[in-house]
C-alpha cells in the first residue's frame, strides 16, 4: 500500500469520521482515499475552499464529538496556523497530517523535506506545547495516524503526523491489525465546569447534544469558558496548564526505537532519513554505533539521550538545515553533528558511513 493511503486507512480504523481538506501535493492521496471511504462508513468528507476553512471545519466537527482530521503540506500548513492556535486555546482534539515538501513558499511540490518540524512546534503565536509523530514506514503511517487520534483525545490538543513525501509516496507491505486500541475522550461530568481540569490537567469533554451549555472562545477564558482577557493570573494559569498537560507527560508518551545502547557514536533520526541510517547499520555492523529513532518528536523527551550513557557523539541526519539538531544540542554536552540535506533527495548511506569513519 502507498503511505498516504495507509495513513487514511489508519484514520478510518481509529474511528475518524470527518475529513475537511483541500488537495495539495504530496498529500492529496490521503484526501482522495478519505473521499472514497468515509461515505461508506457513515462519515463526512468535505473539500473546503482553502486550508483556512479546512482546519476550521475540522475544529467544528470535533466539537460535535467526531474524530476529525485534515491532511496538507507546507503551504497549506502555514495557512492553518492561526486556527491551530485556536484549537490549542479551546482544547479541541483533532489530527493534522503534514506530508512535507521542500519550501519556503511553493518550493518543491513533489520533493521530500522535513522543513516544518519547528513550525508544528512554534508556528502559531503564543506559548503552547505540541505533540508530533513522525512515521518512517508505510506501516507506521497506519499505526501512528491511529495513535495520533488517541493522543489528541487524551490531551485535548491538535496532534500532528509529520511525514515526508518519501514516506507518503512509497509502497510497502502493510499488516492491518485485527483491532486498533481506542482511547476515548474523558467525558465532562454533570455539574463540573467545562474548563476545570482534573489532576491530569485535562478537562472533561462535553457530549454534543446531551444538554451541555459550553462557551467556546479563543480569548483567555476562565473555567466556565467565559472570556477573561484582562486578568494576568487567569491568563498565566490557563496557558501554563495548556503547556504543562503535555510537557509533564513527555517521558510517558515518548516513543522510539533504540539500537545498541552501549554505542559510542549514535545516530538520531526520524522519518525517511531513518531508513538511510538503518542501511548504514546493516552495512557497517559496527559495535560502537547505535541508533535512536524518534517516532514521537514533540514533546522532545531529553531523557532518551540518557539511554546511551557511553555515547560521545550524536549524528543527526535531517531533510532540513538542522531543526531537531538544535533541540538535541540544548539537552546534551556531548558532541552533536548535524547532517542537513535539502533538495528532496535522501541521504546516501555511503556518505553517512564515510562520516562515521571521520568521527572514529
Q: Tens of pLDDT along 149-206?
A: 999 999 999 999 999 999 999 999 999 999 999 999 999 998 899 999 999 999 999 9
23 and 126 in a common domain: yes
CATH number, residue 63: 3.40.50.970
**Nearest-angstrom CA–CA distance, 317 and 324:** 9
Q: Name the domain boundary from 146, 169, 192.
A: 169
pLDDT, position 62:
98
Cell 558532541 identifies what position? 335
Q: Name the domain boundary from 112, 142, 169.
A: 169
Measured at the CA of 116, the angle between CA 267 and CA 333, to 5 degrees, comes to: 40
Classify each residue of 116-154 as buried b or exposed e, where b means 16 or more C-beta atoms within 10 Å of its C-beta.
bbebbbebbeeebbbbbbbbbbbbbbbbbbbbbbbbbbb
Which cell goes with 189? 461530568
Answer whether 249's CB lies under 8 Å from 202's CB.
no
155 and 27 in a common domain: yes
150 and 25 in a common domain: yes
**Nearest-angstrom CA–CA distance, 93 and 106:** 29
Pick the more confident residue, 207 or 311.
Answer: 311
**Domain presence at residue 250:** no
Q: Name the domain boundary from 169, 197, 219.
A: 169
143 and 266 in a common domain: no
159 and 285 in a common domain: no
262 and 130 in a common domain: no
Please report which helix (H) or strand (E) contains residue 89, including its range.
helix 74-90
**Domain presence at residue 180:** no
290 and 158 in a common domain: no
In tens, the pLDDT along 34-65 reads: 999 999 999 999 999 999 999 999 999 999 99
CATH number, residue 286: 3.40.50.920
The structural domain count of the chain equals 2
Instruction: Note down the domain range covering 77.
Output: 3-169
Q: How large is the average pLDDT for residues 288-296?
A: 98
Given a cut of 80, whether residue 352 has pLDDT beyond it is yes
165 and 17 in a common domain: yes
**Domain presence at residue 307:** yes
* Bridge partners, 67 (sequence order): 16
Answer whether 297's CB lies under 8 Å from 134's CB.
yes
Chain length of the chain: 360
Amino acid at each position: 500500500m502507498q503511505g498516504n493511503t495507509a495513513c487514511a486507512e489508519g484514520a478510518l480504523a481509529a474511528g475518524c469520521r470527518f475529513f475537511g481538506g483541500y488537495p495539495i501535493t504530496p498529500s492529496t492521496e490521503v484526501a482522495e482515499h478519505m473521499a472514497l471511504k468515509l461515505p461508506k462508513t457513515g462519515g463526512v468528507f468535505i473539500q473546503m475552499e482553502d486550508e483556512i476553512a479546512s482546519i476550521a471545519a475540522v475544529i467544528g466537527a470535533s466539537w460535535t464529538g467526531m474524530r476529525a482530521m485534515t491532511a496538507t503540506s507546507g503551504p497549506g500548513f502555514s495557512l492553518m496556523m492561526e486556527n491551530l492556535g485556536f484549537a490549542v486555546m479551546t482544547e479541541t482534539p483533532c489530527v493534522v497530517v503534514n506530508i512535507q515538501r521542500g519550501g519556503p513558499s511553493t518550493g518543491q511540490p513533489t520533493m521530500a523535506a522535513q522543513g516544518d518540524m519547528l513550525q508544528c512546534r512554534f508556528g502559531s503565536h503564543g506559548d503552547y506545547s505540541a505533540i508530533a509523530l513522525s512515521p518512517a514506514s508505510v506501516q507506521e503511517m497506519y499505526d501512528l495516524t491511529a495513535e495520533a487520534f488517541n493522543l489528541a483525545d487524551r490531551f485535548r490538543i491538535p496532534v500532528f503526523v509529520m511525514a515526508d513525501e518519501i514516506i507518503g509516496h512509497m509502497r510497502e507491505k502493510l499488516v492491518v491489525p485485527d483491532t486498533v486500541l481506542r482511547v476515548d475522550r474523558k467525558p465532562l461530568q454533570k455539574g463540573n465546569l467545562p474548563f476545570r481540569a482534573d489532576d491530569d490537567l485535562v478537562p472533561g469533554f462535553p457530549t454534543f447534544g446531551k444538554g451541555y451549555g459550553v462557551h467556546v472562545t479563543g480569548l483567555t477564558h476562565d473555567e466556565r469558558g467565559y472570556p477573561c482577557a484582562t486578568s494576568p493570573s487567569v491568563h498565566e494559569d490557563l496557558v501554563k496548564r495548556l503547556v504543562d498537560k503535555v510537557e509533564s507527560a513527555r517521558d510517558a508518551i515518548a516513543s522510539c526505537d533504540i539500537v545498541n545502547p552501549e554505542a559510542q557514536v549514535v545516530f538520531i533520526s526520524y522519518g525517511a532519513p531513518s531508513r538511510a541510517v538503518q542501511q548504514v547499520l546493516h552495512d557497517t555492523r559496527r559495535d560502537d554505533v547505535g541508533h535512536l529513532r524518534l517516532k514521537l518528536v514533540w514533546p522532545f523527551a531529553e531523557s532518551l539521550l540518557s539511554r546511551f550513557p557511553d555515547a560521545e557523539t550524536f549524528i543527526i541526519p535531517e531533510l532540513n538545515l538542522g531543526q531537531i539538531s538544535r533541540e538535541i544540542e540544548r539537552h546534551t554536552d556531548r558532541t552533536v553533528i548535524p547532517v542537513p540535506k535539502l533538495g528532496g533527495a535522501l541521504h546516501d548511506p555511503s556518505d553517512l558511513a564515510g562520516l562515521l569513519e571521520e568521527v572514529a
